[in-house]
Structure 1
Amino acid sequence: MTSDNNPLTTVDISYLDDPKIAKELLDALVSQGFVFIDGHNFQASEVDKIFDISKQFFKLPLDYKRKFPFDSSNSGYIEFNRENLDPNAKKDFKEGLNFSGIDFTTGGPSGAIPDWFVEEQERYTFVKDMTLKLNKLALDLLLLLAKGLEIEGNDKEGGVPGAEWFTSRYKPTSKSGSTLRFLHYPAQTTNNNGDGEVRAGAHTDYGSMTLLFQKKNQEGLEIYSPVSRKWEKVPFVDSTKPGMAPPIIVNIGDLLSYWTAGLLKSTIHRVKFSNLQTEDRYSVVFFSHPSDETLLEPVPSKLLRDRTGRGVAKDTEYITALQHLEKKLANTYGY
């Protein structure tokens, strides 16, 4: 369902086996590329805690954070004005921290991370556990999408069932581009002629799908809606389930859009502050990618067979998930 001031559908996945849910999710991601997911397994206290850890980290001295610089492995601390998501605009005034090279049997990253996390075992264990839960939610959504797409498969003679066509390509011990990211956008404290500042330039995400936690009164996400063909604000939506976190924003990335011949939308979005936004904005994001070695070959779905001139369907040579990601990172960071 949507409302007049909310461009996104909310899909409740409390009952994953309900075929109606798979259809609702597919329809939302075909039309807008973004959706609110309710009925997830995240408690409000867990989300509050991960935001508190993020805030504590960003309050550490800059000299300390700089000891763990962001590098070509997509790991580490990202300084202000380091990213340029929209090459036609100024660099993004935000800072971030990436946990990449994740082993999804433990939730631990292989890339460099600040020792501040490891110094307190409970803190580090909590971050790893949240990473595993986010990955589990992403895989559950991929199972639903496979059902909605009616992917063909065979579980006889060692074949992969159609519903597992995507998830079988997300091997827990294989390297992937999957990343947990903390972001901090300082408040806008000067008048900007009645308009807000763009803090994350207009862009699409790189991977299969993105999962985003947001906090109340820290809105800023805007999508360039494929339906209305204009910028629309994404509001905060509160939880209707006692003790549970608010609905999670999920969107399709370039890789999954390419993989599905453009049927699933990788929608342009940005972060734009309202004028004189006096509260810092924090977000916690999980970017889900298939294993690096995954060959992005056509998805066996009758819904995609007539899309011969789009995405992977138009290619005669297929690339891997890693090759796809490397091209995207090179454009953003200038490697």
Structure 2
Amino acid sequence: MNKIVISKEVNPYYNLALEEELFENVKEDEMILYLWQNEKTIVIGRNQNPYVECDIDAIEKDNISLARRLSGGGTVYHDLGNLNFTFITSKNNENLNKQLKVIKKSLEMFNLSVEFSGRNDLLSDGKKFSGHAFYEENNSYYHHGTLMVDVDITMLQKFLKPSKLKLQSKGIKSVKSRVINLKDKVPNITIDSLIDALKESFKIVYGNVKEESILNKDCYSPRYIDKYSCKKWIYGESPKYTINLEQTLNIGNIQVLLDVESGIINNVKIYSDTLLNINFEDIENKLIHKEFDRNKITKFLKDQLN
């Protein structure tokens, strides 16, 4: 038996938590189509480093949510002009061709032709409007992705770039692609009309849809919300990396090199052009084994050295 689940929440932590809960509990012969949206959110892949992938300064200034998903792949920007889909099933029941057929058929209802690229992307006229990622664990599997209907491209370009911190990483950098909104091709397409098309297409391809559930925080609270909103999950899953943090203080210019792994500072070295006799080693030792938080470190250095 198959089902459709639609989240009416736009909180990324709620939606990712619900996705994982559906994933954990899916039955062997069941296919779930899960549709969801996030309000202004950067979502990084499981193995990515947020400091490499996006402008942390801009994200914090503009109150953009930052989230990490279970699946690998690149960094994406979500807003309410984007619709996310997830196909959730067992490993034995997954069929990528059928899953893509659901997407393709839904877009054909708008007279849109779709091209498949080699990097799990869907294109229109050579421009990307949908990126996909995959995850499996135990006997469960999911395939999820974005559908850009009317995304604010300027915001996407603003946030999906390295921050001002100079950073070298062993993580995986997203490959920036040319993108297009479906609305540029079909002016009358909306999120609601695309949802209706996906539901209809899903029923055509899979049939036997036993139920449709519409969920929000008032009627259901997934148990993994705290996990996805936790700073340790968002930042602490980052691979090992070295940050080169430069500041101009009253004492002169300083350069701070920090080795960070799983969000914890393992090693620190401070360099400076100051003429003052300062024991930087004491300051370095105070930072070792601390959680890496750029704002707190900046304040700490100013307090210690200004």
The answer to whether TM tops 0.5 is no
The structure with more radius of gyration: 2
TM-score (structure 2 length as normaliser):
0.26
TM-score (structure 1 length as normaliser):
0.24
